[in-house]
Copies of this chain bind each other. A is one copy, B any other.
Amino acid sequence: MSDKTNAPFLRNAWWQAAWSDEIDNERGILARTIMNEPIVFFRDKSGKVGAVEDRCCHRGAPLSHGNVVEKGLECLYHGLTFDCSGKCVEIPGQDSIPPMANVKSYPVVERQEFIWIWMGDPAKADESKIIDWPFHEGEKKLPHRKATMPIQVNFMMMIDNLMDLTHLGYVHRKTIGGDPRTHVNAKMDTVRTETGVKYVRWMDDCNPPPTYVKGAGFKGKVDRWQEFEYVLPGSVLQWSGALDVGKGARENREQDGFHLRLFHGITPATETTSYYFWSTANGYRTDDPQATEDMYNEIYPTFVEDVDIMNVQQERINMDPDRPLVGIKADHALVLARRALQQALDEERSAVPQAAE
């Protein structure tokens, strides 16, 4: 388990900072606080995305109030301009630019509709470590829809939530929950992976829910699964699906049937607030845009239910953040996920000697 309920930040890791299209607003600029640091994301005139400290070195004004100009991002206050690397390339009224006139920049990668950011040592920012989510781009691309929800919760509390589905019967009682016993008694196959934790819940030889029937045209019983994979530090890859009984789902799930691919990205804004990014990909009626829309509209209010209970949970935690919680059986995957994070935090701290927090 992490030392604290409010988990600390792992800095040497890729975190989702935004969806690409969040930057592609009218101004080409997006302000976001990550790990307490105000950051401005912008797309320069060449199309490249930059992420720099959202504070001009001259008078401290937020650069996110400025404008993208030919040379880069121009401060609204007195016109200093910075490129994607944070280098000052223009100071109105003077020819030479002093060397300290720069702002901090962060490694960023735009890929598969994600903007990933590296908050730690730039020298360690290895792009090959970025999660692959092929359902947004390329051969495996599926129709999908994305959302960003600001939440008043430590990022790890949302991971906890996704690691323990026994909450479905309670939090989502009025929506997708169904009978609590189903969730509580589901058999879980949970494993520690190299990059986190994965579990699969199997419901064999059962009646498919209406959404599944509508989505994949099942005539009879199905083998269902729910796979959740936590990938350090802030992502959960979900694959919910079903195949007709007899197709050998356990051996090979990659067959025609019902396939819902959900990506969950949770990134800390502060110790107790986060951004919750999610994407839902339609792998069951790929030629029907309405099916993608319907699933999004079904999921959205469900996730709001999660956020509502977690927001008030966090309020209680904040009253005494170090007070212990009591573990129960259903916490198994959650405990493994916390342990994986703690191990990564320990490694980061031992690798880079630093002052105690």
Closest to A54 in B: B316
Residue among A75, A98, A312 having the largest count of chain B Cβ atoms under 10 Å: A312
* Chain B residues with CB below 8 A from A315, complex form: 62
**A356 close to chain B: CB less than 8 A:** no
Beta-carbon contacts of A141-184 to B below 8 Å, as 1s and 0s? 00000000000000000001000101101110000000011001
**Secondary structure at chain A's binding surface: helix, strand, loop or mixed?**
loop
- 11 further interface pairs, Cβ-Cβ under 8 Å (given A78-B330, A91-B328, A93-B184): A38-B316, A38-B319, A60-B313, A61-B309, A62-B313, A65-B309, A76-B309, A78-B170, A79-B166, A79-B180, A92-B169
Once the chains bind, are B77 and A171 in contact (CB under 8 Å)? yes
Copy count, this protein chain: 3
Identify 7 residue pairs between A and B in the complex whose beta-carbon atoms are under 8 Å apart, listed by A's number: A38-B319, A59-B313, A62-B316, A76-B309, A78-B166, A91-B329, A92-B166
Q: Would you give the 0/1 interface string for A68-82, flagging 1 where the beta carbon is closer than 8 Å to chain B?
A: 000000111111100
The residue in chain B whose Cβ has the minimal distance to the Cβ of A170 is: B79
Shortest CB-to-CB span from A95 to chain B, Å, is: 10
* A170 CB, nearest partner CB in chain B, Å: 5
Q: Which of B58, B169, B317, B319 contacts A79 (CB 8 A)?
A: B169
